[in-house]
Structure 1
Amino acid sequence: MNNKLTVIAASLLVAFCAPVFADQAEDIAQLKEQVRELQTKLGGTNLKFNADYRVTSDSIEYKMADGTTAKNSALLSNRLEIGMGYQPFDNLIFHGLLSYNKAFGETGINSDPRNPGMGNFDWVTNENLDDNSLKVKEVYMLYLGDNFLGSDLDWSGSLGRRPSTDGFLANNRNGYDQPKSPLGHSINVEFDGLSLAVKLDKLTGISGMDAKLCAGRGLSATATPRFSSTGADYSDTGAMDNIDMIGLIFTPYNNGQYDIKAQYYYSNNLIDMGYDNTGTPTGFEQLGDLQNLTLSMQVNGVGEFINDFLDDTVLFASVSASQTLPDGGMTAGGNYGMLGSQDNETGYSYWVGATVPAFFEGDRFGLEFNHGSKYWRSFTYGEDTLIGSKIAARGDAYEAYYNIPIIGESLYFQLRYTYINYDYSGSNGFFGNSGAPMTMAEANAMGMGGMVAESAQDIRAMIRYNY
């Protein structure tokens, strides 16, 4: 008997014996487990793969504060993401995602290839155009449990490089993607960490209520390199502290049509570049902490079966507030505090949008607007926008997109336009002086008008295969 017939025969045996041993559940469970073990020996357990490949053409242009412009009229790029996963048991899942993201052809000819800037920083290594190597974007194990702390509540826990880009609301522009873990208004970066989620709907009787505790590390303090002369490989030199983040995502209500989420996080020991008295960079320095509170809501369908158009309309809105907590440190070059200030500075942002059915079956048109204040600071460096995160903008950002399915949801075309008008500089900076806000007039008065963008726009055409 060949392997396939053996599996079929064993499966039929379980099905046939089930009514005979109706009062002997333990025997039936043992038989099912034997079938599982047999399938494993015959190679029935293996990783399942999926592919997500896209080609984009972006026309980008910046208007600087001094009136000059910088642009790239035809930036071609391609991105490949290979997903993998397996569920050997009902309560255990493995997931991984490899990514490759690069411009067409060779890059770096007119720049210093030894100094790629922040393009390969760990938080954004798969969201920025790089070389043609595959990198790990996500890899984690997920455990699904019940009877949380002796109750009948369902729960889950995950550990690894978690899905922390293209989260709630940020996924809408991508056509047909489901949101990942965090709220996209305040977090859109790659992160290593853990999560613990508990479903609270059984306890409260409120549809969809749940809570998720997340924690991660954005920088490890280990500084001594491998094979060091002292022999103290990977030891902590004390030059920097770990960057850690802890947060809570709470869903007070989600019935499928109305989805409300709140998120709070606290991140410590945040960084920016320091300089000496001559203006020479001295490396990263840690300046203080940051906390954020975000409330987001999405409505999937307006009203109750009014008409097809409103039934398929999606509306969303979000508000977010950030606060810096500088530690009072000062660098040798005089850069101090956070975002150019030694005081606790509070910033805010709001974001509204809608996607609606358009002309053909399955196509969708979307509009979004967001505004950020002078000291607004988000963790959205990994946002999929080549001109920089629109959600991070200290000013106004407008976006329109049209998604057209070609072959179901497996192959679709997108045309997208993003325009950002900055009131202040530093929107995409880090947490020290690179994130200090200046008006356009202040930048020109300091002779920095050619280094500060007043506005930016990106016209993107994309074709994407996703299966």
Structure 2
Amino acid sequence: MQRTITRNLLAGLIASLFIPLGAQAADADLLKKIEAMAKEIEALRAQVQANQDANKQAIADVREVKEKVRKNEDRSLEKWLTVGGDYQFRIDSLAGETNAFTDVNATFANAQNQLQAAFFANPSPANAAALSGLMNFAQGIAGVQTYSQAQTFLGANAAMLGAIGGYAVTVPAYKPKNETLYSNRFGLDLNMKAAQDVSVTARLLMYKTFGASDEGALTNSGAAPFFADRVGVFDGTVGHIPSSSFLNVDRVYATWSNIAEQDIWFSVGRRPSTNGAPNHLRANTARPGTGGTPALLVDYAFDGMTVGWAPDIDALPGAYGKICYGRGYESGFSKALTNSLEDTDMLGISVVPIDTDPLRVWLQWNRGMSIFDAPKMASTYFGTTMPKTNLGDIDWYGAGALGTIKNVGRGKLNWFADAGMSVTHPNDNVSAQFGFQGLMTGAFFNPEAPSSKTGTAIYLGLRYDLPSKTKLGLEYNHGSKNWITFAPAAGDSWTSKVGTRGNVYEVYAIQELDAKPISSFMAKSFFRLGFQYYDFQYTGSNNWVGAPVKISDVNGQMMTTTPLSKAYNAYATFEVKF
């Protein structure tokens, strides 16, 4: 620009040689103006340059602020921590019908009390011999490990067995009931993103009855319990059976996903192995993702790990498979002078060939290895229980499907169908603490040679969802004589219904409140009313110790649990998901 101005000035000077002097005076004024304009232009140029420098600094400052904001957001709780949970108030009205039986625990207690009273009243040699004989008999029971040893022991103590019969405590048939059982359950869910593709998920759970800080309301406290999964609370059921106000760790596991930039994941910790599909329909929760196990086979709080892979196959949308491992009981150090217990472990393979909103299909195989005879429980009707022997292995096979059909009348129809099979593989061991019964074999003080038993079960259900946020459900399940599942943590009050040897019918209605969610888009509140009817055909539902007995044949036999023929449960809940 400067060159242009200079060139124009020279041209003007040359031209001025050929114009009159008056005109030259006018041109002098023009030159002054031009010089002034040149100075202004130079000043403007300097100002523009200064503005450009200032803008560059401002841009740099903005970038720095944005980077600081990004780093702060990355460190903020909302970026890496998600909090949710639920609250449930529940009221149950329970009723049942039993058959007459001889209470084993009460019988031995009665024999001990009477013999001690007789000895203290008259410490004669005969009374002393009777009391010491009972004590030696009890000690001898504890030393029996195998079926053959049990036969030998019973043969050598036939006289004592006959004598104990004289102290039998027979419980007549009666109709137990608990008209109002109130309970509170609170769950807190945490999901933490620790690093890229690495997260930790946790669920804390508290479940207690009104007016009590133990499980006595469901275990028939002070009398023989009704079912093996409701004898007491143990590691596999803590937080799922009403017990105390403690906030227990129900789940906590770390997950590494996107391994090798593939849809492969590894997860380890206290597993999401409870409340699996299709229980989400009745519970009114979201469909489980790739975690969890079918509820018909497993509902047990396991510690373990899993490796999964979800291949991208166009013909099989959502397909995935996984291998799971869990530990149900840790036996500790081996013993030098006695037979050592083995750890109880579970291995499973799950294949889901399709997982879409309209349809989900699953195939499952599990093996329970070195199954214990009783878990660790405190303050039960039998005192403090613990595993005393390993009874063998159990295989489970399952296949099922669930789906949604839209535009069925005014609403949509959710459905599911599941089938399972259990196959036992007993060893030669028997449970001394339960009268020499084996893995699905024998009766109290009547051992049976080990043999494999196969059981089957089906589980069917429908739920119809209306635009009014009303949901109506119907479920049915049946278990055969030798059916056994691994589901003590199920939320049913009487006993885990999917472990029933017989039939269970259930109807329920859910009504969600039409309230705007605040805590999250998944937040909701609802009421649920339901009714369960159990029709037991064989004893020992949810119990793998001892052989099942047809309910109609139960009439005074020695048993450790109270045999129920029918059970009823009307329930209502108010639940909040946040």
**Structure 2 length-normalised TM:** 0.66
Q: Which has the higher contact order (CA 8 A, sep 6+)?
A: 2
Rg larger for: 2
Give the counterpart of 1:132 among 239, 242, 245: 245
1:244 to 335, 345, 348: 345
Q: Contact 1:10/1:35 (CA < 8 Å) preserved in 2?
A: no
Structure 2, gaps ≥5 residues long: 1-58, 101-172, 376-381, 443-449, 516-522
Between Structure 1 and Structure 2, the one with more helix by share is: 2
1:84 equivalenced with 2:200 (yes/no): no
| Root-mean-square deviation over aligned CA pairs | 3.3
- Of 448-457 and 283-292, deviating more is 448-457
- Kindly report which structure 2 residues correspond to 1:386-397, keeping only aligned pairs within 5 A, or say none: 386-397=493-504
Q: Which residue of 2 aligns with 1:362?
A: 469
Structure 1 gap ranges (5+): 1-8, 17-30, 225-231
- The within-5 A match list for 1:4-153 is 13=63, 37-39=71-73, 47-66=81-100, 67-106=173-212, 111=221, 118-147=231-260, 153=262
What's the CA shift for 1:264? 0.5
Deviation string, structure 1 residues 47-103 (Cα, Å, up to 9, x no partner): 432231111010011111244111100000000111111224441211111111000
Q: CA deviation at 1:322?
A: 0.5
CA distance in 1, matches of 2:367, 2:181: 37
Equivalent residue in structure 2 for 1:200, among 295, 311, 314: 311
In structure 2, the partner of 1:21 is none
Counterpart residue type for residue 326 of structure 2: G
Quick one: which of 439, 459, 471 aligns to 1:338?
Answer: 439
Aligned to 1:254: 355
Task: Give the corresponding residue for 2:298.
Answer: 187
Write the distance in 2 (CA, Å) between the matches of 1:396 and 1:144.
41
1:315 Cα offset (Å):
1.1
CA contact (8 A) 2:425 2:451 kept: yes
Q: 2:398 aligns with which of 294, 297, 316?
A: 294
Change (3 A) 1:50 1:343: same
Cα contact 1:418–1:458 (8 A) shared by 2: yes
Task: For 1:122, give the aligned amino acid.
Answer: D
- Summarize the Cα distance change of 1:177–1:65 in structure 2 as closer, same or farther, 3 Å threshold: farther
Measured after TM superposition, the shift of residue 331 of structure 1 is 4.5
Higher strand fraction (1 or 2):
1
Is the CA contact (8 Å cut-off) linking 1:170 and 1:185 kept in structure 2?
Answer: no
Q: State which drifts further: 380-389 or 235-244.
A: 235-244
1:406 to 503, 507, 513: 513
Q: How far does residue 38 in structure 1 lie from its aligned partner after superposition?
A: 4.5
What do residues 299-323 of structure 1 show as CA deviations (whole Å, max 9, x unaligned)? 2116xx56543xx101110110001
Provide, for residues 234-273 of structure 1, a one-character-per-residue CA deviation record: whole Å limited to 9, x for no partner.
x998631111111011011223211101110111111225
Counterpart CA distance in 1 for 2:247 and 2:232 is 15
Partner of 1:229: none
Cα displacement (A) at 1:119: 2.6
1:245 and 1:264 mapped to 2: Cα distance?
10
CA contact (8 A) 1:119 1:125 kept: no
CA 1:44/1:68 → structure 2, altered by over 3 Å: closer, same or farther? closer
Distance 2:92 2:454 in 1: 34
Amino acid at match of 1:301: I
Post-superposition shift, 1:177? 3.5
Q: Judging changes above 3 Å, is the alpha-carbon distance between structure 1 residues 332 and 425 closer, same or farther for their aligned structure 2 residues? A: closer
Structure-2 separation of matches of 1:165 and 1:35: 40
Structure-to-structure mapping, 1:262-281, within 5 angstroms: 262-273=363-374
**Identity across the alignment (%):** 24
Choose the corresponding residue for 2:455, options 347, 360, 371.
347
For the residue of structure 2 that corresponds to 1:183, the secondary structure is: coil
The answer for the alignment partner of 2:416 in structure 1 is 316
Partner of 2:133: none
Is the 1:119–1:129 contact (alpha carbons within 8 Å) kept by the matching residues of 2? no
Contact 2:431 2:438 in 1 (8 A): no
Match of 1:418 in 2: 532
Query: What is the aligned counterpart of 1:215 among 311, 317, 325?
Result: 325
